[in-house]
Amino acid sequence: MDFPIEKTKMGDDRKFNLSDPKEREEYFKLKCGVEIEKLKEHLNSGHTFIAYLLGKKNSGKGTYSKMFSEVIGAEKIEHLSVGDMVRAIDEEMQDPQKKADLVEFLEKNYRGFYALEDIIKSLEDRDTKSLLPDEIILVLVKREITKRKGKVILLDGFPRNLDQVSFSLFFRDLVDYRDDPDVFVLIDVPMNIINERIKWRRICPKCNASRSLRLLPTSKIGQDEGGYYLICDEANCDGGKMVMKEGDEKGIEPIKDRLLMDEEILRKAYSLYGVPKVLLRNAIPADVARDYVDDYEMTPGYSFETVDGEIKIIEEPWIVADDEGVQCVSLQAAPVVVSMIKQLVEVFKI
Ligand SMILES: [Zn+2]
């Protein structure tokens, strides 16, 4: 797979703090203001589209979706997570009225290899580990999309296996989604970056806030025999030592199979003809990064040092090897979303 590098470098003196919503708004206006207006106008005149977000687990699909709707307008865009949808079905099965509606919908719409009675039975006493057959996922996604007529759908978690990639080619026809187009949004994030994100993740045991000791530290740092640690600085939390979630020390190891499958889906989607594609890359070779992006668009790494009893936070470029072993910088979410907006305007010829 060969994903182009989007040039978002402007090189002027203006720097943006991309974690500040107000500055982020100005940033987007500067980097792709024209495209944002075009896309907004397009959506305001009644157009929508379905985007299949394809990328490895933990590649940031949720973050990109959230930022995309923040920029384009949350009222026009729906992030539809198939994982959340399946969890919601579990709850629907507990409510007699909702369950009856669901069963009625399935009786009208389901076609597949398993008897509907068996599927309903498995929905009733499903443990979260067992997977639902593709045909049922398909019809449930269809139901969710139909509920969201007139909106852009960012579909996250479908296709999740190779068979579903083929389904997705005809999905637009299946769901009768007016004449609006669909697009594959392929997100390429190296394994190492996902691995590091998991390993450095720290959670507040009191308020569940999630930060990163290496990539997104809090403003307060502590130190004990285990080394430096983050102190939660959420406004409504009285603070405390943030800790590693059990299992995170293994990094990507427990989800390696899932990641390899996601990678295969990405490759298959990449090779398909006929469906337009938006290609997003998170990592850029470090030796050329400065030709393409401004410094503040790169994800910094943090480390700590104690000087005269005071802990200092050191910020420096974060360099990580990609899947081919090339030393790379990782982009912040905002420049990736800039690339997404520009490419969407191009593929839909807006
Ligand atoms: Zn907290």
Q: Is residue 266 part of a domain?
A: no
Confidence of residue 131 (pLDDT cuts 50, 70, 90): low
pLDDT at 128 over 60: no
Q: What is the CB neighbour count within 10 angstroms for residue 246?
A: 7
- The alpha carbon of 215 and the centre of ligand 1 are apart by a number of angstroms equal to 18
Per-residue pLDDT tens over the stretch 188-201: 999 999 999 999 99
- The alpha carbon of 240 and the centre of ligand 1 are apart by a number of angstroms equal to 6
pLDDT at 284 over 90: yes
Residue percentage of the chain with pLDDT more than 70? 97
Does residue 159 have a cis bond before it (omega within 30 degrees)? Answer: yes
Same domain, 207 and 347: no
- pTM for the full model? 0.91
Confidence of residue 162 (pLDDT cuts 50, 70, 90): confident
Same domain, 336 and 324: no
**What is the C-alpha to C-alpha distance for residues 325 and 286, in angstroms, rounded to an integer?**
12
- The pLDDT of residue 290: 94
Residues 6+ apart with CB under 8 A from 160: 82, 137, 261, 265
| Pair of tokens at residue 199 | 């390993």
Same domain, 326 and 338: no
- The alpha carbon of 235 and the centre of ligand 1 are apart by a number of angstroms equal to 8
Same domain, 176 and 120: yes
Per-residue pLDDT tens over the stretch 237-271: 998 999 999 999 999 999 999 999 999 999 999 99
Same domain, 180 and 293: no
Mean pLDDT of 21-49: 95
| Pair of tokens at residue 343 | 């490419």
Per-residue pLDDT tens over the stretch 208-230: 999 999 999 999 999 999 999 99
Mean pLDDT of 53-70: 94
Mean pLDDT of 115-144: 80
- The alpha carbon of 238 and the centre of ligand 1 are apart by a number of angstroms equal to 7
**What values do phi and psi take at 327, rounded to 5?**
-70, 125
Total number of domains in the chain: 2
Q: Is residue 167 part of a domain?
A: yes
- The pLDDT of residue 150: 86
Distance of CA 176 to the CA centre of its chain: 26
Q: Is residue 299 part of a domain?
A: yes
Neighbours of ion ligand 1 (CB under 5 A): 204, 206-207, 209, 232, 234, 237
| Pair of tokens at residue 151 | 């909106």
pLDDT at 52 over 80: yes
Q: Is residue 267 part of a domain?
A: no
Mean pLDDT of 274-299: 95
Same domain, 152 and 43: yes
Same domain, 198 and 312: yes
Confidence of residue 5 (pLDDT cuts 50, 70, 90): very high
- The alpha carbon of 266 and the centre of ligand 1 are apart by a number of angstroms equal to 36
pLDDT at 281 over 90: yes
Same domain, 129 and 146: yes
Instruction: Look at residues 146, 145, 163 and name the one whose alpha carbon lies nearest to residue 155.
Output: 145
Same domain, 222 and 251: yes
Same domain, 105 and 249: no
Confidence of residue 130 (pLDDT cuts 50, 70, 90): low
Q: Is residue 265 part of a domain?
A: no
Domain that holds residue 104: 1-189+272-282+332-350
Mean pLDDT of 52-77: 94
Q: Is residue 264 part of a domain?
A: no
pLDDT at 161 over 90: no
- The alpha carbon of 59 and the centre of ligand 1 are apart by a number of angstroms equal to 24
Q: Is residue 166 part of a domain?
A: yes
- What is the chain's mean pLDDT, rounded? 91
The CATH number assigned to the domain holding 145 equals 3.40.50
pLDDT at 129 over 60: no
Instruction: Look at residues 166, 148, 187, 146 and name the one whose alpha carbon lies nearest to residue 55.
Output: 187
Same domain, 64 and 184: yes
| Pair of tokens at residue 52 | 């299949």
* In 56-114, beta strands by DSSP E: 77-81
- The alpha carbon of 306 and the centre of ligand 1 are apart by a number of angstroms equal to 24
Report helix, strand or coil for 228.
Answer: strand
- The alpha carbon of 210 and the centre of ligand 1 are apart by a number of angstroms equal to 9
Q: What is the CB neighbour count within 10 angstroms for residue 251?
A: 19
pLDDT at 311 over 70: yes
Per-residue pLDDT tens over the stretch 163-180: 888 888 877 776 666 677
Same domain, 104 and 251: no
Mean pLDDT of 287-297: 96
